Amino acid sequence: MVGTAQRQALRTLPKAELHLHIEGTLEPELAMKLAQRNNIDLPWHTVEELEREYQFENLQSFLDLYYQLMQTLRTADDFRDLMLAYLERAHNNGVMHAEIFFDPQVHVFTNHLDYNTVLDGLREGMRIGRERYGISGGLILSIVRDMSLESANAILDMAEPRKNEILGIGLDSAEVGYPPELFADQFERARSFGWHAVAHAGEEGPADYIRQALDLLRAERIDHGTHLLDDTELMERVARDGIALTCCPLSNLRLQVINSMNEHPIARFMREGVTCTVNSDDPAYFGGYVAANYEALAETRLSMEQLVALAGNSIDASFADDARKTTMRAQLDSWRTAHGF
Ligand code: ADE
Ligand code: ZN
């Protein structure tokens, strides 16, 4: 059992968060408040009623609720408040740097908001968060793979005039049946904007989707990558090339990608030399922010030394510049000295 001292240590452990959907930080209380503020009719009348929905059989059953609650976000202030609520929690979880996904196709084409409203709100939240908590980072525009390619192209058209305000392109949502190869053109265009590239692959989809993400999208990190376990040769390649995986243990458990935390492949990946990081994915839905994900791994056989190494990986695998990485590394070293690891 993880004791209070270890829990506290994992909370202050300096780390970066590299796999976090800002819409997945929408807590049920805030969703109900926004629904009221924005006159959105939800089928639930109390937070308790809404909370009964948080049982998921798979990725799709989660996405159904996630997209439904996203309609409560309407104004730049809503997006700013959402970002600030996350950054306050992130700060209390030891996060020094956060690279944050958002799903603009849904806000623009499903919910009829202006792209600039969404971007302005999120960036204002990040600006205040940096000032208040010292958290650095950026936004990753995630392509929603089960929406049309026309909408993906149109969102890139909208993003281009302000391309310098975005850190990278991502690929998320329902995975099976939407292989990375479908999005090669969009990723090539994003790279021409000077953006980094990452992609969800091998969460529910096969290991071949991971190969496609690397070969056809030139992904620099793989989000999840759980099914890498099924392809030893690819696992060796990922290890050799130092491609980082952004693992999200509580998400995998709650979406039944794994049956128990002891089954999580992260320990095996680490043994095989794969660079792994620990992240929260959609913490409002999966029962904990990033420190709780480290804690869940501590409950399995991962040692404190391994958890500290994972935090170090999160810094190294981030897209922060060298000066920022050096600062974060120094903070991690002071933490190690203070805690004797
Ligand atoms: N969008 C938000 N969370 C996601 C996840 N875990 N997988 C795919 N798409 C997502
Ligand atoms: Zn995700």
Taking the C-alpha atoms of 210, 212, 217 and 218 in order, what is their torsion angle to the nearest 10 degrees? 70
Residue 264 CA to residue 1 CA, distance in Å, equals 18
Whether the CB of 225 sits within 6 Å of ligand 1? no
For residue 104, the SS3 value is: helix
Among 210, 228, 309, residue whose Cα is nearest residue 265: 228
Residue 223 CA to residue 278 CA, distance in Å, equals 11
Residue 284 CA to residue 240 CA, distance in Å, equals 35
* 203 counts as catalytic: yes
Structure tokens at 308: 């500290």
Residue 210 CA to residue 3 CA, distance in Å, equals 37
Instruction: State residue 301's pLDDT score.
Output: 83
Question: What residue ranges do the domains of the chain occupy?
Answer: 4-339
- Could you identify the atom of ligand 1 that is nearest to the CA of residue 21? 2
Residue 103 per-residue DSSP state: -
* CB atoms near residue 101 (< 10 Å): 24
Instruction: State residue 2's pLDDT score.
Output: 87
Instruction: State residue 11's pLDDT score.
Output: 98
Which residue shows structure tokens 């993906």? 152
Instruction: State residue 253's pLDDT score.
Output: 98
Burial (0-12, 13-18, 19+ Cβ within 10 Å), 6: middle
Measured in whole angstroms, the distance separating CA 276 from the mean position of its chain's CA atoms is 14
pLDDT digits (tens, 9 = 90+) for 308-337: 999 999 999 999 999 999 999 999 999 999
Instruction: State residue 73's pLDDT score.
Output: 98
The alpha carbon of 63 and the centre of ligand 1 are apart by a number of angstroms equal to 7
The residue nearest atom 7 of ligand 1, judged by CA position, is 173
pLDDT of residue 66 exceeding 90, the answer is: yes
Longest Cα–Cα distance in the chain? 54
Q: Which amino acid is at 48?
A: E
Among 83, 168, 73, residue whose Cα is nearest residue 133: 83
Whether the CB of 282 sits within 6 Å of ligand 1? yes
CATH 3.40.50.880 fits 4-339, yes or no: no
- Could you identify the atom of ligand 1 that is nearest to the CA of residue 203? 7
pLDDT digits (tens, 9 = 90+) for 137-182: 999 999 999 999 999 999 999 999 999 999 999 999 999 999 999 9
